[in-house]
Amino acid sequence: MVYVAERYRSKNSGSEPDSSAHIRISTSKNWASSFPVSEIHQTKGMTMGKLDGKVAVITGGSTGLALAGAQLFVEEGAYVFIQARRQDALDDAVELIGRNVTAVQGDASDLGDLDRLFDTVKREKGSIDVLWASAGMGEPAVLGEITEEQFERSFSLNARGTLFTVQKALPLINDHGSILMTGSNASLGAFPGWSLYAGSKAVQQAWARVWLNELRDRKIRVNVLTPGQVGTAKQEELFDEETRAAFESLIPRGSMGRPEEIASIALFLASADSSYVNGLELVADGGTTAI
């Protein structure tokens, strides 16, 4: 299902921005043909956003740090497409973001779902300026207990899903565009029980270096955003109080990161602020893996 929310203005409004603009939400497949896309109006003296007029696609964008990023991207002027597995979470995300967002239900490890996502982007916007491959999962298991099913789950989404997300988006990505992938500081540390997750995320650093070289003629940047522990609903599911306290004891400031802190770094990598940053793994873990 494609779910759309976009700000619209009264037909009777003048040339100045309408402070009483509404939000219209629709699940109709023909929404775009039924209602005109609103124009961006800018008053004298208004500061332009860092992503004004840009189109961004975020996988795993219904929750956590990717949702915080989607919110910030929209606030900075972008139109955002988000993909996630659960329709109810997407519905909540669209309502929270409120405007300039299209949600497409799907699994980033399913190539058919990825085709449907990018077909929607092509039909509605034509091209992509920012791709953030953030869909991922992790579950703890020590070496002697890792099952084949756990291996398949982790590598299918974290590695295979990321690669094919980028591959299938590539024909739509504009020259000088930005690709970022969500890594994990598990691939930099030696956290017992997390070797499977670490391995499935570590491939991204190699991919970023190779892909930027393959894409150098198109001036497309490829970077990895590697967070540490971030306080999200998923973390609440995975960690009991003892485990949470143990992880926080490793962080110099003594507390986990917040989704909005990671979102601001994603904005940096997505925008022209990082125009000279390419092939970088930007680690945002509060110094956990530096000490």
Supply the residues annotated as catalytic: 197
Residue with token string 């996502």: 117
Distance, in Å, from the CA atom of 162 to the CA atom of 158, rounded to the nearest integer, reads 6
Angle at 78 between CA 281 and CA 28, to 5 degrees: 120
Contact 194, 140 (CB under 8 A): yes
DSSP state of 289: G
Name the strands in the sheet holding 79-84, side by side, starting at the edge strand that comes first in the sequence: 22-26, 2-8, 101-105, 79-84, 55-59, 128-133, 173-182, 221-227, 281-284
Distance, in Å, from the CA atom of 287 to the CA atom of 189, rounded to the nearest integer, reads 11
Residue with token string 């490890």: 109
End-to-end CA distance of the chain: 46
Strand spans (E) along the chain: 2-8, 22-26, 55-59, 79-84, 101-105, 128-133, 173-182, 221-227, 281-284
Residue 201 identity (one-letter amino acid): K
